[in-house]
Structure 1
């Protein structure tokens, strides 16, 4: 990449790291969306780079906060997410382009509807969901990740609907995405796709990610619990709309 593009990419990663620290998600979605729209770099290399910087963000954001994590919920969600990523990749290879587009359109519609309905009623559930519910959300998230590179929506919706403190929700999501990112890094190393240029970019971005993460921990925006939940569900709506638009474009070509 040109030096100017690298600087823009690192600045974008820093801003997305701040957002992820205060909400528990968003780093991958924001950077992938922006880089695709502005053609900053190939999607495959950005995905690997994001896996590396996600580990930096997670280590900094979770330092001293592991006691806030609902380990049963995280364990159940992770158990469903990790293997279903592989299933999603294999399913995408099996489906035809038109069938994949129709499925993406349906999934985008579901995510958009779920975000809209939750934003209109942002109050959490009266009781915590069972472990099976967290497993299913991880399963669906893994399939989305494997097929379309978007793992967040089912997990975000699941955790933000729980009667948990916001710090518990943030820490749980950050840890799950860190585990997913670690798995992707290992797989990239196995395939020999962890190139030196990506590692250099990750090292350049690491100080910015750490500073922005620490800034988010110390100076979070003055948002109430309800406002933060509405923000999360609003981002879900944007993700759903993006999936629908991409599917429609693909089907009308």
Structure 2
């Protein structure tokens, strides 16, 4: 990348880090979208870079907040995520291009419908869901991550529907995405696919990520719990719509 593109990329990562800190998600989606839209860099290298900067975001966002985490829920979701990521990659390898496109179209429609229905009724559930429900959301999140690189929607929907405080939801999601990022970084290093250029870019972005994360911790936007839930479900709708549009584009070509 040119120096100008690196600066733009770091600025986008900083803004996305602020958003992720106040909602618990969004860093990967925002950066991937901007990278694709402005042709900043190959998506494969950006995915590795995001895994590294996610660690910097969580290292700044979570200290002093770990007591807010529902460890049983996070543990159950993690048990679902980790093996299903591998399954998702294997399933994608066996599917034809048309079958993969149809599946992505169906998943996008489900995510869009789920986000829309939840946005219209953003009031949380009366009781916390059982741990099995968190495990299932982790399984579907892992499958989406392995097949399409989008692990967030099932986990976001699951946690934002719970009668939990927003800080509990944010910390749980940040921790879950940190676990998947750490696994990806370790796997990339094991495979020898962690080039020095990506590490340098991550080192340059890390101070910006940490500063924006601190800003989000101390100066969050003045939004109510209901507004934050609507924002989360609105972003889910955007993710679902993007999956549908990408699938339709591939099927029609």
Tell me if both proteins adopt one fold, taking TM over 0.5 as the criterion.
yes
What are the equivalent positions in structure 2 for 1:165-176 lying under 5 Å apart?
165-176=165-176
What are the equivalent positions in structure 2 for 1:169-248 lying under 5 Å apart?
169-248=169-248
CA distance in 2, matches of 1:83, 1:191: 18
Q: CA deviation at 1:40?
A: 0.4
Q: CA deviation at 1:228?
A: 0.1
Specify the alignment match of 1:23 in structure 2.
23
Specify the alignment match of 2:125 in structure 1.
125
Map Cα deviations across residues 191-228 of structure 1 (whole Å, 9 max, x no partner).
11100000000000000000000000000000000000
CA distance in 2, matches of 1:245, 1:63: 39
5+ unaligned residues in a row in structure 1: which ranges? none
SS in 1 for 2:135: helix
> Is 1:89 the equivalent of 2:114?
no
5+ unaligned residues in a row in structure 2: which ranges? none
CA distance in 1, matches of 2:187, 2:204: 22
CA distance in 1, matches of 2:239, 2:207: 28
CA distance in 2, matches of 1:251, 1:95: 14
Q: CA deviation at 1:12?
A: 0.2
Q: CA deviation at 1:147?
A: 0.3
Q: Could you list the runs of 4 or more consecutive aligned residues of structure 1 that deviate by over 4 angstroms after TM superposition?
A: none
CA distance in 2, matches of 1:144, 1:58: 22
CA distance in 2, matches of 1:136, 1:42: 32
CA distance in 2, matches of 1:203, 1:155: 29
Specify the alignment match of 1:75 in structure 2.
75
